[in-house]
Amino acid sequence: MEADNDIQTTPRGFHCKLCDVTIPNKPSLEDHVRGKKHEHLCRLRAKRKSQEENSVFVSGFRAATSRTELEEYFEHFGPVTEVIMDKERGVYAIVEFAEAGGTQSALTQLEHSLHGLKLRVKPRERKEFKLTGRGKHDPKKAQVGMGKLSYELCQAGSVNEQMQKVVETFQLSEGDRKARELLVQLLQEVFSEFLPDCQIIPFGSSVNTFGVHGCDLDLVLDLENTKAFQCRARTSDQTGEDRSEDGRSEDSILSDIDLASASAAELLDLVAAILRKCVPGVHKVQCVSTARLPLVKFNYRPLALQGDITINNRLAVRNTRFLQLCSALDSRVRPLVYTVRFWAKQKQLAGNPFGGGPLLNNYALTLLVVFYLQSVEPPVLPTVEKLRGMACEEEVCVIDGWDCTFPSQPFSVPPSKNTDDLCTLLFGFFRFYSKFDFPSVVVSLRETCALPIADFVGDEEMPDEPEGCVAKLRPSAGPKLGPVTILDPFELQHNVAGNLSERTHRSLRHELTEAEKYCRSLQFQRKSAKGKSWGLVRLFTPHGEAAAAACDAPYRHLEICIPFRAASLPDGHRTDPSEGGDACRTVWFGRLCSVVELVFRDVLKCTPVEGHARLDPSEAGQGATVEEAVEGQSVEGCSPQVSAHAGVKRPLSVDEGPSSSPQGKRQRLDPWAEHPESVHWSWAQTHPVWAGRRKVRKDLLKMSDEASQPEGGSSTLESRVTQHIMEKQANPRDLLEFSVDGTVVGVGESMKAVIKFCPTNDVSGHFQDFFHFLESFLPKMVETMLAKLE
Ligand code: ATP
Ligand code: MG
């Protein structure tokens, strides 16, 4: 039934709404409906439908609630297959049951509550299944989160690796490229119906090897052959011969327009009409006849991308081939271009979102990188003149009178003798341009050096004619000079940075100087041992964002909040915190710190590392273990030895170090001694103690015949779970090191402890998993242990 609803009859045959394709006739329709794609989408739709029916929408829980807590709560209604949390704000979740029964039971229950808060549980909203959704192409998903990128870059071992990571992160995926190719094919088919022998040719970032997710699709509609076709068709009409050699007739559109004499505006209208009427999925078609090269803009809904069509723009196709060649000549070109492009975007130097604008465009920026690579000693890339000399006769290419000759294959060009690594080249790029006197020279990729601007003064391009006309050049015109002049490598009258404002030029110089300064620092070249931002991460600090804020950027999100609970105060202090004031605050935070330390030290068996917040050496060795502190003796009354001096970071001496301490020499708890408002620890973990805990816990409980306990139910049980996991792996290795910083914020009832985490050594990339586990484990464990603390 649903399948019938998918098919619509249209003037051009049929349209399958599910697959978003047009089908010309009934036999093809039958084939389509029986085809793999249609069947796959039907199955997928049925699956999504049942997932929706088996899920509920939950809100009202507190922000720190974990996925596991929700899962445990909803398992009372039926087996839960998945809990999808709203990642950004943690205000809602979708809980999916294995069967519809779970949904019904959950929805039938009138009231739900978790951690004392009332939950709202509603049926999940039904969404119409669309091919154009997430599965196919989601630009939002494609947008790379800066937090994630920073984290990944910090994990890399060198700037070289970071630059490779930038390429991997941003480059067009195979699927992306394929989808673009299919769109080009579709356009080729449609346009050929109306404009025989025309060619749709992609250029720009979709094909020049520097494309990023969601970049626009630049296309040329080449009508040269169509003009010839029209000419032949008209001649044969006049002579009364057969209409054309290949039997095709001049289509109705062609009979309305003379391609040889049509104005740019007329051609654009024609292209726009074909796009609007005949290409399914195209919308927002708009002619821009005032641009230097008039074009038609459009959006293509199924791929959520923006496209541009220019007419007969062969120079652009050729300069795209040139960039492809540069990229193929040396593997350092791509990482350098991607890195510089992203840097420029972050600094708001490049990227005019709507085409025109005062910033550099990506083409101009890429030419700056190529020019620098031609200028280093020894050069990484040859100049355009040198490349011309390496081409053979068949490769000679002249477009609109401009010599665009270069070899078609990279093997015609001898490899570069330059052996600099990427980090050196990037530093070199900033050094080169920070000293570059842009206003007095012209960047020309044809020669080895920048040309004095004085040679060009007097030859300038005429001012643009009024809107609506395409600007014409005087026959002897030179480039339009500006604060930055970058000559196109082929169209030598054209300054590709002619749109740059004086203000952009000033920002460019400023950012180049800043980048050069930063590249000289150790922070750029050396990975931080303390987990601070380094290398490209700081280079990519967005324009206007304080360097200090950017410093912690990759780890900003790695924090866990533990809200204040009066119940966790000792009897004498159990007053309203707004009345108890500072005393209440420090007592609560002190107790919390002790417990947090116990969780890491005794429950999760982490070892303190150098710089760990430390106890006074004179009093070492009198400590309480977790069992003593929490499940037996009171910690109150312990003499004030500090386990967590606020912000204390001093190296351990061998005598002090826990690694050198005898087993019994444990740190003692001192939550109250210094009334800390903040605390710092550094820990190391040698085993993946977060993995498989649930199963180990279950097995241990079975063996000991104890009643079932949820995660975090008992600190003794949890430390046994850890012990068990550690024993299973005989050869521990340095898995990860991390620092933990706690502070108390807020007042009264809204007081909370904010615990921030930062991986300081995470070679094998386990920290994210560990942190993910801590998000649910730590608050629960702390809560349980605080409740037992006397
Ligand atoms: P992106 O689309 O990701 O910004 P891109 O490499 O496609 O990057 P565009 O600025 O869209 O860069 O340019 C696409 C193509 O248009 C270039 O490859 C070049 O052929 C041509 N082009 C762009 N700007 C100019 C210019 N100022 N002068 C000459 N040709 C240009
Ligand atoms: Mg483009």
Cβ pair 378, 418 in contact under 8 A: yes
Mutate which of 219, 322, 361 for ligand 1? The one with the most ligand atoms within 8 Å of its CB, which is: 361
Is residue 540 predicted with pLDDT exceeding 90? yes
Q: Which helix (H) or strand (E) holds 757?
A: strand 752-761
Is residue 630 predicted with pLDDT exceeding 70? no
Is residue 645 predicted with pLDDT exceeding 90? no
Tell how far the Cα of 362 is from the centroid of ligand 1, in angstroms.
6
Is residue 643 predicted with pLDDT exceeding 60? no
Answer with the residue of higher pLDDT: 141 or 203: 203
Answer with the residue of higher pLDDT: 334 or 83: 334
Share of the chain above pLDDT 70, in %: 77
Q: Angle at the Cα of 230 (from 225 to 231), degrees rounded to 5? A: 95
Q: Tokens standing for 632?
A: 């037996």
- Which residues are CB-neighbours of 116 under 8 A, at least 6 positions away? none
Residues lining ligand 1, CB < 6 A? 203-205, 208, 210, 215-216, 218, 316, 319-320, 361-364, 488, 494, 496
Is residue 633 predicted with pLDDT exceeding 50? no
pLDDT per position as a tens digit, 245-274: 555 555 557 777 888 898 989 999 999 999
Query: Can you spell out the DSSP letters for 489-545?
Result: SS-TT-BTTTT--HHHHHHHHHHHHHHHHHHHSHHHHS--TT----THHHHTPPTTS
Q: Angle at the Cα of 149 (from 147 to 155), degrees rounded to 5? A: 105
Chain mean pLDDT for the chain: 80
pLDDT per position as a tens digit, 21-31: 778 888 888 88
Q: Which residue puts its alpha carbon closest to atom 11 of ligand 1? A: 204
Answer with the residue of higher pLDDT: 218 or 686: 218
CATH class entry, domain 174-240+251-312: alpha beta
Tell how far the Cα of 132 is from the centroid of ligand 1, in angstroms.
28
Q: How much is the average pLDDT of 98-108?
A: 89
pLDDT at 136: 39
- Alpha carbon distance 212, 362 (integer Å): 11
Ligand 1 atom nearest the C-alpha of 361 is 10
pLDDT per position as a tens digit, 188-232: 999 998 899 999 999 999 999 999 998 999 999 999 999 888 888
pLDDT at 164: 97
Answer with the residue of higher pLDDT: 440 or 657: 440
Q: How much is the average pLDDT of 621-639?
A: 39
Query: Can you list the positions of beta strands (E) in 390-437?
Result: 398-399, 402-403
Phi, psi of 287, deg, nearest 5: -90, 135
Q: How much is the average pLDDT of 495-509?
A: 93
Q: Tokens standing for 667?
A: 């740190």
Residue 210 DSSP SS3: coil
Neighbour-count burial of 398, counting CB atoms closer than 10 A to its CB (0-12 exposed, 13-18 middle, 19+ buried): exposed
List, in sequence order, every residue forming a beta bridge with 360; answer none if it has no partner. Answer: 350
Q: Which residue puts its alpha carbon closest to atom 26 of ligand 1? A: 496
- Which residues are CB-neighbours of 404 under 8 A, at least 6 positions away? 315, 318, 319, 322, 397, 398, 490
Mutate which of 218, 324, 345, 504 for ligand 1? The one with the most ligand atoms within 8 Å of its CB, which is: 218
Residue ranges, comma separated, of all CATH 3.30.460.10 domains in the chain are 174-240+251-312
Is residue 641 predicted with pLDDT exceeding 50? no
Q: How much is the average pLDDT of 565-593?
A: 73
CA 379 to chain centre: 33
Residue ranges, comma separated, of all CATH 1.10.1410.10 domains in the chain are 352-520
Q: Which helix (H) or strand (E) holds 92?
A: strand 92-97
Q: How much is the average pLDDT of 169-183?
A: 94
Distance between first and last Cα of the chain? 67
- Alpha carbon distance 457, 478 (integer Å): 8
pLDDT per position as a tens digit, 331-365: 999 999 999 999 999 998 998 765 667 899 999 99
Q: Tokens standing for 607?
A: 């070892």
HEC string for 307-329: EEEEECCHHHHHHHHHHHHHHHH
Please report where in the chains the tokens 């409980």 appear, as a residue.
701
When the candidates are 1.10.1410.10, 3.20.20.70, 3.40.630.30, 1.20.1600.10, the CATH number that belongs to 352-520 is: 1.10.1410.10
Q: How much is the average pLDDT of 570-594?
A: 73
391 pLDDT band, cuts 50/70/90, is: very high
Return the closest-CA partner of residue 280 out of 604, 490, 684, 8.
Answer: 8
Is residue 319 predicted with pLDDT exceeding 70? yes
pLDDT at 89: 54
Tell how far the Cα of 363 is from the centroid of ligand 1, in angstroms.
4
Cβ pair 642, 594 in contact under 8 A: no
When the candidates are 1.10.287.3510, 2.60.40.10, 3.30.470.20, 3.30.70.330, the CATH number that belongs to 2-123 is: 3.30.70.330
Query: Any idea which of 457-461, 498-502, 695-699, 700-704 has the lowest mean pLDDT?
Result: 457-461
Cβ pair 32, 89 in contact under 8 A: no
pLDDT at 353: 60
pLDDT at 433: 97
Answer with the residue of higher pLDDT: 446 or 237: 446
List, in sequence order, every residue forming a beta bridge with 220; answer none if it has no partner. Answer: 201, 310
Query: Can you spell out the DSSP letters for 129-155?
Result: --TTSTTT--HHHHSPPHHHHHHHHHH
